[in-house]
């Protein structure tokens, strides 16, 4: 699904299904509404008087007002700013203030919503099928042994799958990120919605090379953890959300195993976040300008790209298109002169 009607599809795949972060719990205060846009869809999020978060389609079925712009919350229902119609958390019309009857056909699509691991997440499925898995707890987030999160956020003009493929691409570290060592993938295994990669990495330090590890777990297309160990244990929780089929927002939460001294822990966290964000900024122009090749020409020592793609393909309702083998970006006159430095500057940083 593309919103460009004048050209062919940017990618051979559409928006995957899964659990995706749409905001952070602090973004939603009790009784407030918030306008959102993900999955190529205008949405409204709101928090009821019991503290539960809800996400639903934005437009009131009466005459189309956006419930996230002026909508209010009354108890456990949302009230339209235009003519005061009221809807419950299931999206049913419960009150029309100037009529004795409700409208049974006036329903709003709702999305299963949970708050876990520091994110407000919704289950998105293009055909509105119910959740196929639960979102697992990331132990370190609540353990008390780790400090954080420090948060950042980036928006990239690339499909969510295209960016996720970076996780199996060990060779690019040397060329894009100029790291002295590249991670060595020991194991890449998939099981249902979970994909796990175990890799070892040598970290050069002033006192010599330290053996470390980078272990990545993907919990469906929307949530992942990257655990770095060797020098200092750090955890990166990644939440990737399709804004539409060719635009993705990535939220990072950084955690550091507490070092006893709060200011040292926090400066390690800052440095960790800065390095990951720098690398993300280096990847961004590659993602935005690259073609998606259905049949890439791989080296025998490349990472498990095709295994990754096969795992990822389970999250699409429509089969991945094979009508073409090359899916280039559109011609973007405004992007022709963009330098990597400029692209990096477009990354938006959240607050710690
Ligand atoms: S448009 Fe929502 S009540 Fe009329
Ligand atoms: Fe990268």
- Centre of ligand 2 to C-alpha 278, Å, is 9
- Centre of ligand 1 to C-alpha 131, Å, is 30
Q: What is the pTM of this model?
A: 0.91
Do residues 227 and 215 lie in contact, with contact meaning Cβ atoms separated by under 8 Å?
Answer: yes
- Centre of ligand 1 to C-alpha 107, Å, is 12
| 96 C-beta closer than 6 A to ligand 1 | no
DSSP per-residue string spanning 15-51: PPPEEEEEE-GGG--BT-EEEEEETTEEEEEEE-TTS
What pLDDT is recorded for position 87? 98
| 65 C-beta closer than 6 A to ligand 1 | yes
DSSP per-residue string spanning 249-298: EEEEEEEEE--SSHHHHHHHHHHHHHHHHHHHHHHHHHHHHPPEESS---
- Centre of ligand 1 to C-alpha 102, Å, is 13
- Centre of ligand 2 to C-alpha 192, Å, is 25
Hey, whose CA ends up nearest to atom 3 of ligand 1? 83
Do residues 87 and 72 lie in contact, with contact meaning Cβ atoms separated by under 8 Å?
Answer: no
Hey, whose CA ends up nearest to atom 1 of ligand 1? 63
- Centre of ligand 2 to C-alpha 277, Å, is 10
DSSP secondary structure letter of residue 331: P
| 83 C-beta closer than 6 A to ligand 1 | yes
| 81 C-beta closer than 6 A to ligand 1 | no
Encoded tokens for 117? 């691991």
Do residues 248 and 160 lie in contact, with contact meaning Cβ atoms separated by under 8 Å?
Answer: yes
Residuewise pLDDT in 10s, the chain (352 residues)? 444 445 579 999 999 999 999 999 999 999 999 999 999 999 999 999 999 999 999 999 999 999 999 999 999 999 999 999 999 999 999 999 999 999 999 999 999 999 999 999 999 999 999 999 999 999 999 988 999 899 999 999 999 999 999 989 989 999 999 888 888 999 999 999 999 999 998 877 777 888 899 999 999 999 999 999 988 899 999 999 999 999 999 999 999 998 888 888 888 888 888 989 999 999 999 999 999 999 999 999 999 999 999 999 999 999 888 889 999 998 777 766 665 554 444 444 433 3
Report the length, in residues, of the chain: 352
What pLDDT is recorded for position 328? 93
DSSP secondary structure letter of residue 346: T
| 62 C-beta closer than 6 A to ligand 1 | yes
Chain CA centroid to CA 193, Å: 15
Encoded tokens for 134? 């639960």
Do residues 77 and 67 lie in contact, with contact meaning Cβ atoms separated by under 8 Å?
Answer: no
Out of 70, 77, 80, mutate this one to test ligand 1's pocket (max ligand atoms within 8 Å of CB): namely 80
* Residues paired with 198 in a beta bridge: 187, 215
Domain 18-124 is found in CATH 3.30.300.30? no
Chain CA centroid to CA 84, Å: 34
Q: How far apart, in whole angstroms, are the C-alpha atoms of residue 311 and residue 220?
A: 9
- Around ion ligand 2, residues with a beta carbon closer than 5 Å are 166, 283
| 60 C-beta closer than 6 A to ligand 1 | yes
Q: What 3-state DSSP class applies to 247?
A: strand
Place of tokens 């822990």: 265
DSSP per-residue string spanning 98-146: T-SS--TT-B--EE-EEEETTEEEEEE-TT-PPPSSPPPP-HHHHHSSE
Domain ranges of the chain: 18-124, 140-345
Chain CA centroid to CA 206, Å: 35
* Residues paired with 123 in a beta bridge: 19
Q: How far apart, in whole angstroms, are the C-alpha atoms of residue 42 and residue 121?
A: 16
**At the top level of CATH, which class does the domain 140-345 belong to?**
alpha beta
* Ligand lying nearest the CA atom of residue 281: 2
Hey, whose CA ends up nearest to atom 4 of ligand 1? 83
| 85 C-beta closer than 6 A to ligand 1 | yes
* Backbone phi and psi for residue 72, each to the nearest 5 degrees, phi listed first: -125, 170
Q: How far apart, in whole angstroms, are the C-alpha atoms of residue 290 and residue 225?
A: 25
| 82 C-beta closer than 6 A to ligand 1 | yes
- Centre of ligand 1 to C-alpha 120, Å, is 27
Q: How far apart, in whole angstroms, are the C-alpha atoms of residue 113 and residue 91?
A: 13
């Amino acid at each position: 699904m593309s919103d460009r009607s004048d050209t062919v599809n940017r990618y051979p795949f559409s928006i995957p299904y899964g659990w995706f972060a749409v905001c952070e719990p602090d973004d939603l205060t009790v009784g407030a509404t918030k306008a959102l846009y993900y999955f190529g869809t205008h949405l409204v999020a709101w928090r009821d008087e019991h503290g539960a978060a809800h996400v639903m389609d934005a437009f009131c079925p009466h005459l189309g007002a956006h419930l996230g712009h002026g909508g209010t919350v009354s108890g456990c229902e949302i009230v339209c700013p235009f003519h005061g119609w009221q809807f419950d958390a299931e999206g049913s019309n419960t009150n029309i203030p100037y009529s004795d009857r409700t409208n049974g056909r006036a329903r709003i699509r709702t999305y299963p919503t949970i708050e876990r691991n520091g994110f407000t997440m919704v289950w998105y499925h293009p055909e509105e099928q119910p959740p196929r898995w639960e979102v697992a707890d990331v132990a370190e987030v609540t353990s008390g042994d780790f400090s954080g999160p420090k948060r950042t956020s980036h928006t990239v003009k690339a499909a969510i799958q295209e960016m996720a493929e970076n996780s199996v691409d060990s060779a690019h570290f040397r060329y894009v990120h100029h790291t002295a060592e590249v991670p060595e993938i020991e194991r890449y295994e998939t099981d249902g919605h979970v994909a796990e990669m175990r890799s070892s990495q040598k970290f050069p330090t002033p006192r010599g090379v330290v053996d470390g590890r980078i272990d990545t777990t993907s919990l469906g297309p929307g949530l992942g953890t990257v655990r770095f160990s060797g020098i200092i244990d750090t955890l990166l929780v990644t939440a990737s959300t399709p804004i539409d089929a060719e635009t993705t927002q990535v939220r990072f939460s950084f955690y550091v195993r507490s070092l006893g001294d709060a200011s040292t822990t926090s400066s390690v966290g800052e440095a960790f976040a800065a390095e990951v964000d720098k690398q993300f900024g280096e990847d961004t122009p590659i993602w935005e300008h690259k073609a998606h090749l259905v049949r890439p020409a791989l080296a025998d020592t490349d990472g498990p790209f095709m295994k990754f793609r096969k795992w990822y393909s389970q999250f699409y309702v429509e089969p991945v298109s094979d009508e073409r083998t090359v899916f280039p970006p559109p011609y973007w006159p405004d992007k022709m002169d963009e330098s990597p430095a400029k692209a990096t500057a477009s990354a938006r940083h959240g607050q710690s």
